[in-house]
Amino acid sequence: MIKSMTGYGRARMELHKRDITVEVRSVNNRYLDCTVKMPRMYAFAEEAVKGRVQKAVSRGKVDVFITVDASAADVARVSVNQELAAQYAAALQTLSCLCGSETYQVSPETLARFPDVLTVTKADEDLETVSEDLCTVLDEALKAYNTMRAVEGEKLVEDIASRLDTIDDCTARVESRSPETVAEYRAKLTARMQEVLQSTTIDPQRILTEAAIYADKVAVDEETVRLRSHTSQLRTMLRADEPMGRKMDFLIQEVNRESNTIGSKCNDVSIAQIVVQLKAEVEKMREQVQNIE
């Protein structure tokens, strides 16, 4: 299925007490360029996130935005520095003796007020689990993102198919008109020679030879055959299940080249007008193909 390179997808899930939101958006680009913006503390998962994007997208400028609310997942641990607490307690007892009191009892509350006696630390996170959770939400965002791209891709296919029909129609008109230009040239050449030579007998063989030379110069059979071949290949690509943007872009360049050749060979006004329409359709189609993955 043809997809557009422009799309947007968003997903939000709560996994392991973490509220995770992922947004994916993209615009046209010649190659795949993925940028991930996420909290610095989760930077370890960036390569895994990019890997998932690369499996789902072949080209485009893709931006991934990840936000995480992990307040509910935070688990605090309180530890006691027993050695330091004992030293504080001994020091307090020494001060008590100096003040003339030998029965002073050091309370836990008193020791807890001293620096570094109690230490609060955050429990270590399972990095693999966190990374997998982020990628799980990313997968959901990518589903929505690809759905949007597929819908846009259908519209592009319809537009390009319509323009291919117009190009085929223009090609048929060129093929129909081309033999007429040779016959008209032969008639004009005969009339001109009669006018110049007047009563002198005109050699029919010479007329045929000149007409044959002209016909060879303006023949566009090869170009129209290649044009039809290119449009047929483009239609096949529109039905493909894999990214075809680059191949289609190359073929459209070939279509444009054949159109230019036809225009340069034919001096006929009618064909020139057809070629102008043909090139206009090719240019519009090129613009649309720039949006295809």
Check residue 287 and give its pLDDT: 92
Q: In this predicted structure, what is the pLDDT of residue 51? A: 95
Is the CB of residue 92 less than 8 Å from the CB of residue 110?
A: yes
Q: What is the pLDDT of residue 277?
A: 93
Helices 127-197 and 269-289 pack at an angle, to 10 degrees, of 180
- Per the listing, tokens 């007409």 go with 211
pLDDT along the chain (293 residues), means of 10: 94 92 95 94 92 94 93 68 88 82 78 85 75 95 96 95 94 82 62 58 62 59 88 94 91 92 79 90 93 93
For the chain, which residues make up each domain, given as ranges?
7-72+126-149, 76-122, 151-289
pLDDT at position 20 = 95
Contact 135, 48 (CB under 8 A): yes
d(CA 241, CA 227): 24
Length of the chain: 293
Q: Is 242 exposed, middle or buried (0-12, 13-18, 19+ CB in 10 A)?
A: exposed
Q: Which of the 8 DSSP states describes residue 44?
A: G
pLDDT of residue 138: 97
Q: Are strands 18-27 and 32-37 parallel, antiparallel or unpaired?
A: unpaired
Give domain 7-72+126-149's CATH number out of 3.30.930.10, 3.30.230.10, 3.90.1280.10, 3.50.90.10.
Answer: 3.30.230.10
Distances (CA, A) of 187 to 180, 184, 193: 11, 5, 10
Residue 182, both tokens: 């040779």
Nearest to 7 by CA among 154, 155, 145: 145
Residue 73's pLDDT is what?
A: 55
Q: In this structure, what DSSP letter does residue 99 have?
A: T
Scan for tokens 């050695």, then name that residue.
83
Distance of CA 265 to the CA centre of its chain: 38
pLDDT at position 124 is 63
Name residue 117's amino acid: V
Residue 9 pairs in a beta bridge with 24
The phi, psi pair for 24, rounded to 5°, reads: -125, 130
SS3 126: coil
Task: Identify any residues that bridge with 25 across adjacent strands, giving them in sequence order.
Answer: 8, 63
Give the pair of three-digit tokens for residue 54. Answer: 């690369």
Token pair in block for residue 215: 């016909």
Cα–Cα distance list, 188 to 59, 184, 194 (Å): 56, 6, 10
Please give the Cα distance from 31 to 63 (Å, whole number): 14
Element (DSSP H or E) covering residue 34: strand 32-37
